[in-house]
Amino acid sequence: MVSTTTTAVPAVILSHPRFLIDDLCRMSRNTIESLRLGELADETGVRVVGASDGFDSANPQSSLLLPVFGSMNEVFITQVRSKVNRRMDDAFRRGDNIQPPRSRHRSGGTSRTCGSCRMSWQSP
């Protein structure tokens, strides 16, 4: 016989809405936006919990951590954008294809090819 134990969760915890997010960088793209969303969460009583970075708005230090995480995410996005643009410029100078890969979706229509740029598409 297998016994199962359940833990009672206080009603206070269940009554407060929570916003669970994997990483705070998914919540905002810059420091100002993350501060605005933090204010909005405080005003509406929503608890923001970041699973990967350990952020919890119920923690008293969250008002200090939110702008730090926002600034770090903003710097990371700027660095990634710079690297992608530099690599695309290098690929363009070498004559490589810098277009996104063609979709493999087949709608059942006939395939057509543009003679001047060799792009193909499906007509319905």
Cα–Cα distance, 77 to 80 (Å, whole number): 5
| Average pLDDT rounded to a whole number, residues 94-101 | 78
pLDDT greater than 50 at residue 23: yes
CA distance 105 to 29: 32
Amino acid 80: pLDDT: 92
Average of per-residue pLDDT values in the chain: 74
pLDDT confidence of 116, banded at 50, 70, 90?
A: very low
- Would you say residue 102 has pLDDT above 80? no
**What does the pLDDT read at residue 96?**
83
Residue 65 in tokens: 């951590």
Q: Where are the domains of the chain?
A: 11-93
- CA-to-CA separations, 75 to 9, 72, 81, 96, in angstroms, rounded: 39, 5, 10, 29
Per CATH, the number for 11-93 is 3.40.50.1390
Band (pLDDT 50/70/90 cuts) for residue 4 is very low
pTM, 2 dp? 0.56
Instruction: Label residue 57 by pLDDT band (50, 70, 90).
Output: confident
Plot region of 108 (φ>0 → left; ψ -120 to 50 → alpha; else → beta): left
